[in-house]
Structure 1
């Protein structure tokens, strides 16, 4: 995503209006440097195009961010807007909403109902950029989190994560779900009530490696914040799923998979007993994995998780003494 106000090396007219004085000064310096190169250090009057651009940039600074977001909403709701205009409007809105006060204003000017429409857009990029906007709106923002839950965004995003066919949309859906629920107890309750753990499990069963890793990371984070969720994970067969991954050909996801499994069994007797079920052969798999990873520094973290997990679940007295 572009940073506000810096338009890169294009002509002045292509630059996005600056959001603050710092951005304006940065843009002025860019223009000045370009002028120096063009004029080869020969003192000349500022070209009319440059002068007009600078005047417009200063005028743009007086624009209200709320008015800019309203203009974006008009684009997002207009039947005449093509995908390019819609994506640009979402991007600009996201830039404004990175400031907490403006994120609140986006709700107050009626932006939230538009989000629901965009989540069903036919173009995948529109959908994933909308999910990215949701993540920006709700991250560390209690007011926006409450309003998002009132709008039923969490259940909509769980459905998108589970059913959308585009990998980027799935990844951004999981990211937005995490931003909304990781520190919000009410969101966590809704996540559990709408079978969010089964959705996470299915995300880890896809062939989208980035999605699998993010799902395992969220699983670990939920275990740390809500130890009571560990019983739910036992009930939903999450342990069987995670242990089953160890039978796959070794890949980068295995480190995160073992981390999630370790998070579940830590200080949870029922999960430990689940891992000790003979049919899972988890002890044997961990011993084989530890041997496979020996002296491979690039897998140090994974080896640590395997050893710690084996220590916790081992029924072998000799193993416990190692």
Structure 2
């Protein structure tokens, strides 16, 4: 991060650079009726609705003949102006308003209604899907305001705050850097390890994944063995959603760090993944199966000791892989799963090993 960027972030003069008005992504309801003579006009709620309205109002025009043009009447002009005004929003204003609301999270007790703060977090999450907006949110103190939200007595605030951090960090090196500097990984890993709400733990893992992606300093955080133990406990939990998130993290963030892969192998991650793959196969949990296989490939590649772990006789892993391939080879929805299983089989078992195993 440049000195100028650091100055912008640390400065107490939290001013957002001017931002152009933008359209809010509002989900379109297919049941919304179009204006007609028998149905009162209803403003389209997004660009698709506006396009549908315009097509409907011009459907009687015949493109093969000359069109008749006439000045727009005042009623239609007013209607279209109202549509565009209702669909646009001042992002800087929304950021500031919502930030003020979530900044009060530290004062919200278990007995208080959390809905205002939850709604503000959702508004912010919708706005920060663009990197520039996420960075503007950070520059006006958004990261500092999110911290207390992660420790709120209301799980609805905690998981929404974790989700907001994850959205901001998505493909955003500047935000990732500052999240690491402000020790967000410590906060998030604690949520994964100790929170009683599954959704909070899943969203915390999501935020960790986006902060770590392509961020060497964030990956180094997991050189601390305690953080790795948290991931192992999450893999051993009863939550399939949590297992999938951990597997995704292992397959995307850790694959390029040989030191970390060796550490995870010594901790028993390879053996655990094989056992979980067997359980997912038996339970026909195809989504879990795919992600667990992907994680195993990433951690075992170019690591002889990991391949040796897979070949432990008591795991009977070759038969498990063959079972996966045979079970799902004709299922078009499971092509990735079969591909992963085939790749692992080729990677782990040489021709000689397969012959000896068959004997």
Other-structure match for 1:310: 345
Greater fraction of residues in helix:
1
Other-structure match for 1:71: 97
Q: Do the aligned partners of residues 154 and 317 (structure 1) sit closer, same or farther apart at CA in structure 2, a change above 3 Å counting? A: same
Other-structure match for 2:148: 117
**1:254 CA displacement:** 2.3
Q: 1:249-281 deviations in whole A, cap 9, x for unaligned?
A: 242222322232222222211212222333433
**1:59 CA displacement:** 12
- What is the CA RMSD across the aligned residues, in angstroms? 4.0
Other-structure match for 1:93: 124
Distance 1:97 1:165 in 2: 28
| Alpha carbons 1:128, 1:169 under 8 Å: kept | yes
Distance 2:51 2:241 in 1: 37
Other-structure match for 1:165: 196
* Structure 2: segments with no counterpart, 5+ residues: 1-22, 33-43, 58-71
**1:287 CA displacement:** 4.3
Distance 1:297 1:286 in 2: 18
| Alpha carbons 1:311, 1:319 under 8 Å: kept | no
SS in 2 for 1:225: coil
**1:239 CA displacement:** 1.1
Distance 2:87 2:209 in 1: 39
| Alpha carbons 2:209, 2:253 under 8 Å: kept | no
User: Which of 176, 180, 183 is 1:152 aligned to?
Assistant: 183
> With structure 1 as the length reference, what TM-score do the two structures score?
0.76
* Structure 1: segments with no counterpart, 5+ residues: 12-22, 37-42
| Alpha carbons 1:28, 1:54 under 8 Å: kept | no
> With structure 2 as the length reference, what TM-score do the two structures score?
0.69
Distance 1:146 1:298 in 2: 38
Q: Do the aligned partners of residues 167 and 239 (structure 1) sit closer, same or farther apart at CA in structure 2, a change above 3 Å counting? A: same
SS in 2 for 1:195: helix
**1:179 CA displacement:** 0.4
**1:295 CA displacement:** 5.1
**1:296 CA displacement:** 5.3
Q: 1:46-105 deviations in whole A, cap 9, x for unaligned?
A: 49xx77x939938975x4x33332221222234588422112211222233222222222
**1:186 CA displacement:** 0.3
Q: How does 1:212-291 map to 2 (within 5 A)?
A: 212-248=243-279, 249-251=282-284, 252=286, 253-291=288-326
The answer to whether the aligner puts 1:54 opposite 2:85 as a matched pair is no
| Alpha carbons 2:179, 2:185 under 8 Å: kept | yes
| Alpha carbons 2:214, 2:253 under 8 Å: kept | no
User: Which of 193, 208, 223 is 1:177 aligned to?
Assistant: 208
Q: 1:110-157 deviations in whole A, cap 9, x for unaligned?
A: 222221111112222221111111012111111111111111111111
SS in 1 for 2:258: coil
SS in 2 for 1:224: coil
**1:298 CA displacement:** 4.9
Q: Which has the higher contact order (CA 8 A, sep 6+)?
A: 2
| Alpha carbons 2:25, 2:46 under 8 Å: kept | no
Q: 1:216-270 deviations in whole A, cap 9, x for unaligned?
A: 1221123433233220111111012112224422422223222322222222112
